[in-house]
């Protein structure tokens, strides 16, 4: 289909569902308002549906790429009204399969052998079909039961054409929608294009799956299927076929005698373990990607599949997020406001008192409800929405985290309506903060950083000499201020020397930490007061600019 024909179809769908009603015509300049009035959309009556339902139906009719976009858009609750976000969340990624001959041809071309040589058996009828790929069951010659995921033919060109059209519509929305700048439609479409193009690379998904499996190895919380790398490439992913009950089949889980309270609490624990211990979290944990192993109903295990979308936080974001969440738990809105400014999530010009007041106005009504009825995920949404009024630029990793928490919490409440997420989350966060700054953790970080410091140590003297030479050249060029320059030069040399001494001491400590692997057990025996005094002494001798 040519781009002109595709655009014509998009305009027809927009007209059929009267999506032009989303635009406030009174806010448009005269020429666009006049042009909009000439289009034949008014020939269609406005469907007897909510605006969210009309948008969802339109995206479903436009096909896989738009469906996937609607799913992603539903996670941006910081940008959308609640009714539209809830409706878009209903989008189902159910797409007719492509012909089995094409699927076999793609596998044979990608792996370089006939399907009969690659597999002992191969089911040509797909077991599932989605917007980006479809899945077939197969058996390896060694006997393992596997699933083979095959990328749709020519899907990349379709994605690029459709996202180009989306980008055009986003630019128009940014220019003419009353809240166009706040919605950041161009940014949203650009992020979506990167995400969906990444999903086309099966080796990326395979690598994510392997990492997630390694993170939870020998852990009862989550099981991740094994990847078979000899049968995996950019267009094909082969992995272990799992057997479990869909997490949404609560009736079957209950009939099996599954401990649903434990299962729901483990879902929350999986989330916090991934975010705060691994900093590597499955960001697409909707119910279709989660199954349950009830071999032992009293000790159930989650099974996670489809690791195409993975989120990760930097050390700084991880720290600030944990502190923010604890601040919310304790209703310490001043600390939450200060942390937002400190970490750069909001403008440094933000008045802490104003942000604190806004946070209190949002959170206090929520905390008046029974604790089991408070949505932690929704609270995070409100936090980001409030921060957006103070020009907070939401980072993609935080959006993925927000989406994942909403999915996990919704799933937990579906399994066990009385789930008290706070009882699970608060102790976990408090333990994480305590462990992060324990002597053992600090020594472990020293061990990790020491090789880099030792490598850079010889460069410190060179940098000091270079700064000295620059200062001398500068003082020669400005003889009037020679005395002042010499004073600054002398002060700079003192600072540099003392700083080198401190860095040298740290490197020596790190070297000892590396040389004695069991030093952590000795460190654990040192009283906390000694660590406090050592930190105070280091602060006293560390040079300060005056």
Tell me the C-alpha distance between 130 and 486, whole Å.
71
pLDDT at position 541 is 46
Query: Which of the residue ranges 258-262, 462-466, 485-489 would you say has the lowest mean pLDDT?
Result: 485-489
Which residues form the catalytic set?
284
Tell me the C-alpha distance between 338 and 346, whole Å.
10
High-pLDDT (> 90) share of the chain, %: 20
DSSP 124: S
Query: Which of the residue ranges 293-302, 309-318, 393-402 would you say has the lowest mean pLDDT?
Result: 393-402
Nearest to 401 by CA among 513, 292, 226, 276: 276
C-alpha torsion 24→58→191→158, nearest 10: -130
User: pLDDT tens for residues 236-267?
Assistant: 999 999 989 988 888 999 999 999 999 988 88
pLDDT at position 29 is 61
Confidence band, pLDDT 50/70/90 cuts, at residue 23: low
User: pLDDT tens for residues 429-452?
Assistant: 888 777 776 666 667 666 666 676
Average pLDDT, the chain: 77
Select the more confidently predicted residue: 502 or 355: 355
Angle between helices 421-436 and 260-272 (to 10 degrees): 30
C-alpha torsion 97→103→106→108, nearest 10: 170
Confidence band, pLDDT 50/70/90 cuts, at residue 546: very low
| Contact (CB, 8 A) for 308 and 208 | yes
pLDDT at position 500 is 54
Angle value at C-alpha 402, between 398 and 406, nearest 5 degrees = 170
Element (H, E) at 136: strand 133-139
Tell me the C-alpha distance between 407 and 304, whole Å.
13
Tokens of 8: 């014509």
User: pLDDT tens for residues 413-433?
Assistant: 778 887 777 777 778 888 877
DSSP 288-356: GGEEEE-SSTTS-EEEE---SSEE---HHHHHHHHHHHHHHHTT-HHHHHHHHHHTTSS-TT--HHHHH
Tell me the C-alpha distance between 406 and 378, whole Å.
7
Select the more confidently predicted residue: 122 or 408: 122
User: pLDDT tens for residues 147-204?
Assistant: 999 999 988 888 888 888 888 877 877 776 655 565 667 777 787 788 788 888 999 9
Residue 514 clears pLDDT 60, i.e. is over it: no
Residue 54 clears pLDDT 50, i.e. is over it: yes
Burial (CB count within 10 angstroms: exposed 0-12, middle 13-18, buried 19+), residue 20: middle
Task: For 394-459, give the secondary structure using H, E and C.
Answer: CCHHHHHHHHHHHHHHHHHHHHCCCCCHHHHHHHHHHHHHHHHCCHHHHHHHHHHHHHHHHHHHHH
pLDDT at position 499 is 53
Select the more confidently predicted residue: 52 or 381: 52
pLDDT at position 386 is 76
Tokens of 397: 């990793």
């Amino acid at each position: 289909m040519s781009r002109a024909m595709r655009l014509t179809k998009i305009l027809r769908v927009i007209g059929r569902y009267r999506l032009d009603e989303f635009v406030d015509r009174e806010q448009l300049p005269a020429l666009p308002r006049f042009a909009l009035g000439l289009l034949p959309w008014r020939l269609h009556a406005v469907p007897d549906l909510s605006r969210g339902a009309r948008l969802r139906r339109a995206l479903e009719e436009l096909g896989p790429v738009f469906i996937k976009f609607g799913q992603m858009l539903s996670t941006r609750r910081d940008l959308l009204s609640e009714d539209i976000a809830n409706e878009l969340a209903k989008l189902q990624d159910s797409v007719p399969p492509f012909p089995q001959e094409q699927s076999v041809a793609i596998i044979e071309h990608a792996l370089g052998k006939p399907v009969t040589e690659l597999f002992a058996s191969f089911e040509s009828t797909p077991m599932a079909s989605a917007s980006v790929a479809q899945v077939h069951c197969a058996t390896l010659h060694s006997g393992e039961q596997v699933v083979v995921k095959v990328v749709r033919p020519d899907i990349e060109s379709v994605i690029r054409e459709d996202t180009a059209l989306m980008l055009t519509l986003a630019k128009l929305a940014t220019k003419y929608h009353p809240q166009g700048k706040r919605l950041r439609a161009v940014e949203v479409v650009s992020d979506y294009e990167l995400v969906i193009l990444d999903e086309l690379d099966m080796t990326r998904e395979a690598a994510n799956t392997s990492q997630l499996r390694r993170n939870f190895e020998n852990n009862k919380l989550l099981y991740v299927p094994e990847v078979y790398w000899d049968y995996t490439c950019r267009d094909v992913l082969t992995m272990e076929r799992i057997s479990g009950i869909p997490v949404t089949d609560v009736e079957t889980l209950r009939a099996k005698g599954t401990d649903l309270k434990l299962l729901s609490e483990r879902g929350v624990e999986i989330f916090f373990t991934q975010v705060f211990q691994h900093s590597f979290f499955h960001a697409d944990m909707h119910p279709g990607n989660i199954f349950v192993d009830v071999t032992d109903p009293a000790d159930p295990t989650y099974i996670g599949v489809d690791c195409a979308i993975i989120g990760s936080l930097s050390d700084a974001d991880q720290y600030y997020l944990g502190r923010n969440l604890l601040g919310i738990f304790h209703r310490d809105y001043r600390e939450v406001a200060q942390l937002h400014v400190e970490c750069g999530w909001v403008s440094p010009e933000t008045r802490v008192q104003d942000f604190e007041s806004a946070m209190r106005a949002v959170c206090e009504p929520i905390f008046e409800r029974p604790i089991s009825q408070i949505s932690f995920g929704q609270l995070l949404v409100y936090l980001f929405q409030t921060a957006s009024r103070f020009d907070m630029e939401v980072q993609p990793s935080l959006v993925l985290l927000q989406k994942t928490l909403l999915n996990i919490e919704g799933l937990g409440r579906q399994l066990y309506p009385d789930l008290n997420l706070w009882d699970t989350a608060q102790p976990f966060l408090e333990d994480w903060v305590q462990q992060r700054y324990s002597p053992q953790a600090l020594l472990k970080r020293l061990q990790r950083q020491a090789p880099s410091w030792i490598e850079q140590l010889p460069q410190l003297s060179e940098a000091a000499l270079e700064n000295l030479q620059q200062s001398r050249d500068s003082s020669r060029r400005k003889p009037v201020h020679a005395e002042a320059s010499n004073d600054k030069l002398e002060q700079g040399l003192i600072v540099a020397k003392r700083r080198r001494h401190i860095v040298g001491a740290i490197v020596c400590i790190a070297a000892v930490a590396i040389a004695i692997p069991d030093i952590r057990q000795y460190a654990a025996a040192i009283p906390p007061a000694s660590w406090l005094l050592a930190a105070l002494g280091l602060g006293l001798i560390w040079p300060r600019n005056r």
